[in-house]
Amino acid sequence: MKGKLNIKILIIALIILIVAGVAVVFFLKSKASSEEEKAPNPSSEVNYSVTMEDMYCNIKNSKRILKIKLTIQTSDENKKAIIEAKQFVIRDEANKIIRNNTEEDLLGTGSMENLKRAIQRSLSNYFADESIVVFFDEFVIQ
């Protein structure tokens, strides 16, 4: 009698676990599909980019230099023309930011992302364009 009761309890517990598992999977799939519907399709957005010439920047408290090549991306065609015309401003802003970083700052974990964000913030403020994105085509400390 006790053995049959244990088997029934085991079967009921197993059924509850299966139902709970199916519910969790269903919930996660529906959540993921709703997030996909909300997310904009990046390929449908038109982006314009300007690739700068190589830049050589002094590094704070170091005899080494940083060689970088930036690509600036915007979603506004008019801003692209302004960015092309004001490349000297971009170079100046990037130089100011890089010169305030030591070699350790530039080699540390997440340093490239931090540097990109700093340059991006500066350019977004200067050009009044929040859609500006900065990419490093080259990043070499010599």
Q: Domain of 91?
A: 46-141
pLDDT digits (tens, 9 = 90+) for 30-67: 776 665 555 444 455 778 999 999 999 989 998 999 99
Strand partners, 74: 48
53/123 same-domain check = yes
How many domains are contained in the chain? 2
Q: What is the DSSP letter of 54?
A: P
58/126 same-domain check = yes
63/93 same-domain check = yes
Residue-level pLDDT at 34: 61
Averaged pLDDT, 116-141 = 90
pLDDT digits (tens, 9 = 90+) for 78-114: 889 999 999 999 999 999 998 998 988 888 888 899 9
80/127 same-domain check = yes
58/18 same-domain check = no
CB 137 within 8 A of CB 119: no
59/108 same-domain check = yes
64/33 same-domain check = no
128/61 same-domain check = yes
pLDDT band of 131, cuts 50, 70, 90: confident
pLDDT at residue 115 greater than cutoff 80: yes
pLDDT band of 23, cuts 50, 70, 90: confident
29/57 same-domain check = no
Lowest mean pLDDT, pick from 1-5, 18-22, 38-42, 48-52: 38-42
65/28 same-domain check = no
19/65 same-domain check = no
34/75 same-domain check = no
Residue-level pLDDT at 35: 58
State how far the Cα of 18 lies from the Cα of 102, in Å rounded to an integer.
56
Which residues in 29-52 are b (16+ Cβ under 10 Å) and which e? Answer: eeeeeeeeeeeeeeeeeeebebeb
Q: What CATH number should be reported for the domain holding residue 109? A: 3.30.479.30
pLDDT at residue 71 greater than cutoff 90: yes
